[in-house]
Structure 1
């Protein structure tokens, strides 16, 4: 039996019949600002979703259309001492780590501003889809602090040069530039971001659930392993896939089409 969804502060969680979960930031000011209370509520929600066996994919989005996340709470940060600063950024690290470790594909729905901690949160997702009006930036140096935690993922996503430009200038770029750099997989046409997100989630939900989880685990492993180690783990994962009947069930429609003379 599918468990009921708990109430989480600052997070609205929904689930559809396919097992596609949506996590929406809630009650975090108009730009979905990540204050500590918001960060803690979101982290609890992410960890709960990650533990759900029926989960097939997770969409992460901001409330409204003005922003995905406009950044961390500058009002809170302005009053920090060194110890408090370490605790503050560790909470944000825990949130991004929790998203990174979700065992099913994560889709970042990026509308409006995606700045600082918002860009880091999006970087921790598997697939990033943006609206044409989206704005991306890492403005931390403009307020006297370095960009840290999951900014470490940016060189692997967009290259060292673009990362240098973003983090050292504090400037922003539009969705087209973010796509050209490789941060966004696609930019939706005006008014079609939700359709793009749905098409992506539908493709994931139509695939073998165990295979998708295995594939995501491999993708994560490949980022941290040598090529040889990654190849060895891939062979193991392929063999493990046949420990259940999922390959047979999901291959059957293709075999039927072949027998009828229809291409795969």
Structure 2
């Protein structure tokens, strides 16, 4: 494991901790590359049914490593940075298992994008969110992609145009995070949610997550047609048959994850 990201596993939950605490876990090219590599490995690991992403130190993620970008000064490096970040966010969405953002401290710019890209997000009371690029002359255009898909148009534009930070309660009201938790309880709460989800069939989770993002982009009738087909395919898998039998028999299911 790279020193940039630490991985721990327990009860089907893989936790990836961004470990650039001195720079508020800013997304250097190296860190993004390692994170993509880790996500690829996790997608093939049948023992993993949930992924949690969190940050080391005082904050979750402050966005791109602006010093690294300025030191380069090359358009090709900027293009590669934004392309790599976009690939990383899309990999989170395409991952077979759910991804949870556990947020403390700041989640700004591409860090806010990272929260918006995850399937679920839980925030400490002290957490702050924002897309402040407009304040330094660099509009948060790529964070806008994830943000505008996670919250409403006017909420997205408010964050993008003002560049102001919002607190965790406001983020929950906007729908950017699922729930605000006391700082001291955040680890335990996220672990509880992750463990609960990890108790389900990995195959079923993968089918459902994929269908969720596919149907969102379709017209209503097409979405129903697509999901009707998905449910037909889902009910044919071993875990669905096991789950239904277990429900009827009033026993706990034994998943094969297939």
Normalization by structure 1: what TM-score? 0.88
Q: Which residue of 1 aligns with 2:198?
A: 205
* Alignment correspondent of 2:134: 141
Between the aligned partners of 2:88 and 2:219, the Cα distance in structure 1 is 27
The CA RMSD over aligned residues, in Å, is 1.8
8 A Cα contact 2:115 2:176, kept in partner: no
- Partner-residue secondary structure (3-state), 1:29: helix
Rounded to whole Å, the distance in 2 between the matches of 1:213 and 1:38 is 26
User: After the TM superposition, which residues 1-264 of structure 1 pair with which residues of structure 2 at under 5 Å, given as runs?
Assistant: 7-16=1-10, 18-27=11-20, 29-64=22-57, 66-79=58-71, 80-257=73-250
Shift, 1:30, TM fit: 4.4
2: CA distance, partners of 1:190 / 1:147: 28
CA distance in 2, matches of 1:199, 1:157: 23
Distance 1:26 1:205 in 2: 25
1:171-220: per-residue Cα shift (whole Å, max 9, x none)? 10000000011101101124111122112112211222221111101111
Judging by fraction of residues, say which structure has more helix: 2
Shift of 1:19: 2.1
Q: Shift in Å at residue 105 of structure 1?
A: 0.5
Mean Cα deviation higher: 148-157 or 183-192: 148-157
Structure 1, 220-229 or 106-115: larger mean CA deviation: 220-229
Q: Which runs of 5+ in 2 are unaligned?
A: 252-258
Distance in structure 2 (CA, Å) of the matches to 1:39 and 1:153 = 17
Q: How far is the alpha carbon of 1:131 from its aligned partner?
A: 0.3
Question: TM-score scaled to structure 2, two decimals?
Answer: 0.90
SS at match of 2:241: helix
3-state SS of the aligned residue for 2:100? strand
Equivalent pairs, count:
250
1:242-262, Cα deviation, whole Å (9 max, x unpaired): 33321232234432349xxxx
Please list the CA deviations of residues 81-107 of structure 1 after superposition, one character each: whole Å capped at 9, or x if unmatched. Answer: 333221221121121122121111110
Cα pair 2:39 2:91 within 8 Å, conserved: yes
CA contact (8 A) 1:9 1:38 kept: no
Counterpart position of 1:262: none
